[in-house]
Amino acid sequence: MSQAENMLELDCLEVAYGGIRAVRSISLHVGKGELVSLIGANGAGKSTTLRAICGLVPTVGGDIRYDGRSITGAPSFTLVRQGLVMVPEGRGIFGQLTIEENLEMGGYSRRDLNAVRQDTEQVFALFPRLAERRRQSAGTLSGGEQQMLAIGRAMISRPRLLLLDEPSMGLAPLMVEKIFEVVRTIAAEGVTILLIEQNAKLALQTSHRGYVMESGEIILEGLSAQLLDNPKVRAAYLGEEEVAAS
């Protein structure tokens, strides 16, 4: 895939906290319209990578290109306006605000208020449970409902590139299934997605391609189906049950 067809490119990206390098010269790309997963254990550097892409943590080396232009060091609020949006780990919803008010926050940088209202109704169509509770305080929602709200709020921003950080964390299996069904729907509508997920099997089953991160480095990459069959990936990230079943 040529550089012109990539929505995101990381070239030898490095991030450090104090004297510790959390991300060590990683390179990856996400093509326009692709759903790409980045998997790895806790502390591998996955979330730090997303935060660096969004301008939330400074980089100490390398380059980040979004839609062909370098955005290294760009403030996060300018990136949202350009269509680069993240759903953070922990969701980051405003607990004291209603569901509707949280969704309105997703459109803060937009001036087309009628279109924002239409997009809000589309989010409610995607998540009927939120529509039923639209005037309820977000802090009273279950973890799964809060994740729905966080994704819905991101969609109000009309992302071209959506970064998802651990969307299944702490959720019951049925809710995880629903969230990933929505992720697939969003991808099918043409939104480019970079997905970080500890549930490696689910991430690879959902994505087109994947990268495996360990101790701040990319150690494997390839088509998701190939990574699912890779013995090292199966042993390290899919659990003993998966290995025994192979």
Query: What letter would DSSP give residue 153?
Result: H
Angle at the Cα of 63 from the Cα atoms of 57 and 67, rounded to 5 degrees: 100
- What the block records as the tokens of 44 is 């591998």
pLDDT digits (tens, 9 = 90+) for 55-97: 999 999 999 999 999 999 999 889 998 999 999 887 788 989 9
Q: What are the structural domain ranges in the chain? A: 3-245
How many other C-beta atoms are found inside a 10 Å radius of the C-beta of residue 124? 18
Q: How far apart are CA 45 and CA 119, in angstroms?
A: 33
Average pLDDT, the chain: 90
pLDDT digits (tens, 9 = 90+) for 174-198: 999 999 999 999 999 999 999 999 8
Buried b (16+ CB within 10 A) or exposed e, 137-170: ebeebeebbbbbbbbbbbbbbbbbbbbbbbbbee
How many other C-beta atoms are found inside a 10 Å radius of the C-beta of residue 177? 12
The CATH H-level (homologous superfamily) assignment of domain 3-245 is P-loop containing nucleotide triphosphate hydrolases (3.40.50.300)
Contact 214, 41 (CB under 8 A): yes
Element (H, E) at 64: strand 61-66
- In this prediction, residue 44 carries a pLDDT of 92
Which neighbouring-strand residues pair with 14?
61
Q: How far apart are CA 97 and CA 136, in angstroms?
A: 8
- In this prediction, residue 3 carries a pLDDT of 55
**Averaged over 19-45, what is the pLDDT?**
94
Residue 211 pLDDT level (bands cut at 50, 70, 90)? very high
Contact 138, 146 (CB under 8 A): yes
pLDDT above 60: residue 4? no
Contact 211, 220 (CB under 8 A): yes
pLDDT digits (tens, 9 = 90+) for 101-112: 999 888 877 778
